[in-house]
Chains A and B, each alone.
Chain A
């Protein structure tokens, strides 16, 4: 009890001391504590944005653009890291000696060298070892586009085809035709179209799951699985999505040279690619170890028992090993997703405009509001990680062994 009181008094005193210092320092500098700067004009440009933004927008909007960029690279990174990690983790357990060794080299190499070095190295390779857009010009160009003239790898980034809609829901710009004839309708990329497409695909997945449940129920009732279930499930996902694409008049917009640069398509900047690749390769090495540990944690007796029951190897994997391994794999996996999200703040090394560069960088420099800016930045990361760890705890509670 005495210790508690002493500790409480010490903490109160520390808070009081810090607060008094902050007030005194702010007064000395002639600053106040005010978040009003968020609604004032930002006045700087952001080269990569997922939502409308110009230098006339507010600092708050700039922060939002940064947050979306952080989330973008985090989501892309988590997806690729999971794929790489699972492949490397499974292959590292392979009985094939050379494959297992190669994966060990990958895992140890990425785990023991700082992420920052990888980011800068990949960025340097992408900017210095790739051809300039001008090299694609001329009759005998020094460089050429790959995959049927649809992807251009240049030192300014990678240009990939984009999908545009000629009958967009968001309305198309009508270009007046040059010869005074019928006006041409230019294809447009509208987020509304993509939302519809994604909604249809998600609905398709739910439909496929419903068919799967129905087939299982029929099988359990009658002993016979309805034929063609697999193709029905595939069709439920693909057909409606294809219909939506056709109905919206989807067309491919290929990148092409105009002047000294490529236009059209989607421009993936080097900063995004370097950050994405480095984060995924680095986190993938950690995920590989988690997957390996997870699979090793399921005792061999489980496999043998499943075989003794007459299960085929892939059933054994799906119904016996994986559900048990998942319990071990998921919690550290999510904590690595969290690490990846926090590590995306290394974007500063390559000039990717994430939330730290907008809100925690240029905004702070322009407005001189370090205290407020850093506080908001910290809060954003804190809230993100608390949400993710909350989800993780819910999942942990739902899968943990029910001991009686």
Chain B
């Protein structure tokens, strides 16, 4: 999985949990909370959907890694690839 693939995975989840948001121009280097109407429960949704859909665990101590699309990609891409290698 590339980092761009990973960003697409995160955006697909956000599209479901924040269906009123326009996601066509999300800036990857800007905090998601600063450009979208997302609250703490929504971030828990992202964590839950990563777990449900992809088997990816994000420990609470790492939640800050989900701040922006870029930081999501940095943090999650190795996890996706490690999981793919294991399977």
A, B co-complexed: no
Interface set of A (CB-CB < 8 Å, partner B): none
